[in-house]
Amino acid sequence: MKIFVYHTPELVPTEGIPDCAIAVDILRATTTIATALAAGAEGVQVFSDLDELLRVSEAHPPELRIRVGERGGKTVEGFDLGNSPFDFTPDVVKGKRIFMSTTNGTRSLQKVQNAKSVLACAMINLGSVLKYLRETKPETVWIVGSGWEGSYSLEDTTCAGAIAANLEDEADFGNDEAVAAATLYKTWKGEVEELFYQASHGKRLLNLNGAEDIAYCAKLDVVDVLPKQSSAGLL
């Protein structure tokens, strides 16, 4: 297994298709996706474009769909929910299909759509992703951070590093970013919540009363779900 880390969707190579691509948006899209599926959502379809989301979701029965729209950390007007994982409780999402567009996270998922398998990873479902990688042993793995509008983000690299560091005895690192990410995680392991408060998006969320969200997003392995892309979205 050879692991490559790319800090943002923009840095993903334009050539080559990995056996497995893992999108990471700790604050908060991939955390929210894992939470929604653990709460019984039927599936999650991601969109980079809000209009496209509205058009596609129109064909789905209104009582069985939830439209999620986030821009700049806030809920988009007219959408059912924003991106706080705490809103995705079983009573709200069970049996419903989620149509989701966020500032960065859904873009990274769309960017790697052609990979042979596509996963969404967060700290909260790290163990499920590691288990999948150990069982399936993909030859090449691209871990793609979502960043913030094209720039690096500390929290996504921490999670990429958590994947890489946990597999370092079983895998090779394909680029310097993978080595750096693993080092970052090993340095902050056990204190990732503190690190997330220092991240620029952590600070942005704190200004939006998101402290509880950050604390939850920093938790390790609290849900046992593997969001994996299929023709019907992430299931």
- Is 102 a binding residue for ligand 3SL by CB under 6 A? The answer is yes
CB of 172 to ligand 3SL, least distance (A): 30
Residue 8, token pair as written in the block: 């943002």
Residue with tokens 């149509």: 99
d(CA 235, CA 228): 6
Residue among 83, 125, 157, 158 that touches ligand 3SL (CB under 6 A)? 83
- Is 104 a binding residue for ligand 3SL by CB under 6 A? The answer is yes
- Is 69 a binding residue for ligand 3SL by CB under 6 A? The answer is no
- Span near ligand 3SL by CB under 6 A; candidates 22-30, 50-58, 117-125, 174-182: 22-30
CB of 205 to ligand 3SL, least distance (A): 6
CB of 85 to ligand 3SL, least distance (A): 10
- Is 105 a binding residue for ligand 3SL by CB under 6 A? The answer is yes
Residue among 73, 85, 138, 174 that touches ligand 3SL (CB under 6 A)? 73
- Is 81 a binding residue for ligand 3SL by CB under 6 A? The answer is no
Touching ligand 3SL, residues 116-175 (CB under 6 A):
146
Residue among 103, 128, 158, 229 that touches ligand 3SL (CB under 6 A)? 103
Show the site string, 23-62: x = touches ligand 3SL by CB under 6 A, - = not: --x-xxx---------------------------------
Q: Which 3-state string (H, E, C) describes the chain?
A: CEEEEECCHHHCCCCCCCCEEEEECCCCHHHHHHHHHHCCCCEEEECCCHHHHHHHHCCCCHHHEEEEEEECCEECCCCCECCCHHHCCHHHHCCCEEEEECCCHHHHHHHCCCCCEEEEECHHHHHHHHHHHHHHCCCEEEEEECCECCECCHHHHHHHHHHHHHCCCCCEECCHHHHHHHHHHHHHCCCHHHHHHHCHHHHHHHHCCCHHHHHHHCCCCCCCCCCEEECCEEC
Q: Which residues make up the interface to ligand 3SL (CB under 6 A)?
A: 25, 27-29, 70, 73, 83, 102-105, 146
